[in-house]
Structure 1
């Protein structure tokens, strides 16, 4: 719901499992900023929620119209945008640099907003991300320029700290592209260019971070990225399909697995074609 911040009640909505998300409906929502008095984040990190699942997970939800069984954090009260994100995007392998940057930004926003609120502001976020991705970013350095950034309902989409992080990260992505050929190559290198399928039976088993997300987070911080703690990065990996954390009972689990195999086959063919073209160019250059 537009205008709702993470300090507002969750209205019965549960988060996708960026941090062991499946909580009983009576529990507080996931994605709430840390209370005052928390320890200061290290360089490159921003506050990340530290909630964890407690008790038994609710049973998987079944769509009464289509008979579709979904992951248990999608409930009968979940907003339609949230359900559509689960059904169509979450966990699907992404290799487009612009889309990866968008998903990274949305994952960073989870420290301040919930998925339903973020998705309700999707177009504003997308306009902001596209502007940073395409434009020369050197001018966005002072507070006056920050105040000119896109807003929603008259207020800034994110805190100034997060806004500055988005600007910084856009700059760092350009450096990564120069080194790795694409931001996609960089992100997927942490899983050997093959999505990780965990197959957790219960949502309470889904971790808040993994050794791979910690490794990626540490490397991104070293490169100058901001607000990229391991929990944020794991949420990003889930959303971008680098990790498939749909529960096996969910109808999307097998669909995402099949899509990942098709994408992997296409990428291998693309690499072979690119390699052959390079070899042909070298041969022509020697003749």
Structure 2
């Protein structure tokens, strides 16, 4: 009998995230940037903590509109630091503002989504893990993407954070082979 990946437990919010979002190939540049930012905010915390605060993050961060966030000044950063609904970490908020400006540069020059997807050859890597213990914390691809992001000036994007980002955005299919989502996301119409 197949069963869902165990990492999402039984929390309805987490199960819905697993069933509907995690591992689905994402090509929208703004959505990719939002996920990269939120994965950076997760550093040192659990993903369910961020997931529970995601709507507050979206409200505070102008729906992750990079054009708006790139214009934030110190006063706007201070305002965000007062919001108890988000993770109030000055370094991560400042990194988000800087990241918005970097996103706009990359989007203009080569396209943010194509640039990120180039690290996996433009298509999802299909893994076939049957047990969570087989899943790596990072891979050569996440190390390469992390180095490239850091070289561009991004922060909070180490290889482990980047691998979690790659899993979440479908750049790799790390659903367990016994999970129904593994087969669903392995189909060519989904994977490409």
Q: TM-score, normalised by structure 1?
A: 0.62
Is the contact made by 2:23 and 2:173 (CA closer than 8 Å) also made in structure 1?
yes
Structure-2 separation of matches of 1:155 and 1:165? 18
Q: Match of 1:171? A: 101
Provide, for residues 51-72 of structure 1, a one-character-per-residue CA deviation record: whole Å limited to 9, x for no partner.
xxxxxxxxxxx8xxxxx61012
Q: Does the alignment pair 1:137 with 2:56?
A: no
Structure possessing the higher relative contact order (Cα contacts under 8 Å, 6 or more residues apart)? 2
Gap change, CA 1:234 and 1:158, over 3 Å in 2 = farther
Q: State which of 89, 110, 130 in structure 2 corresponds to 1:201.
A: 130
Gap change, CA 1:203 and 1:156, over 3 Å in 2 = closer
Q: State which of 57, 60, 63 in structure 2 corresponds to 1:125.
A: 57
Q: Does the alignment pair 1:229 with 2:163?
A: no
Q: TM-score, normalised by structure 2?
A: 0.90
Q: Does the alignment pair 1:71 with 2:5?
A: yes
Gap change, CA 1:158 and 1:234, over 3 Å in 2 = farther
Point out where structure 1 has 5 or more consecutive residues left out of the alignment. Answer: 1-61, 63-67, 266-287
Q: CA deviation at 1:151?
A: 5.4
Point out where structure 2 has 5 or more consecutive residues left out of the alignment. Answer: none
Q: CA deviation at 1:94?
A: 0.2
Q: Does the alignment pair 1:251 with 2:180?
A: yes
Structure-1 separation of matches of 2:116 and 2:25? 11
Q: Does the alignment pair 1:158 with 2:88?
A: yes
Q: State which of 177, 189, 192 in structure 2 corresponds to 1:262.
A: 189
Structure-2 separation of matches of 1:131 and 1:71? 29
Q: CA deviation at 1:138?
A: 3.7
Structure-1 separation of matches of 2:190 and 2:134? 27
The total of aligned residue pairs comes to 191
Q: CA deviation at 1:129?
A: 5.6
Structure-2 separation of matches of 1:136 and 1:232? 22
Structure-2 separation of matches of 1:145 and 1:83? 34
Q: CA deviation at 1:227?
A: 1.1
Is the contact made by 1:132 and 1:167 (CA closer than 8 Å) also made in structure 2?
no
Q: Match of 1:148? A: 79
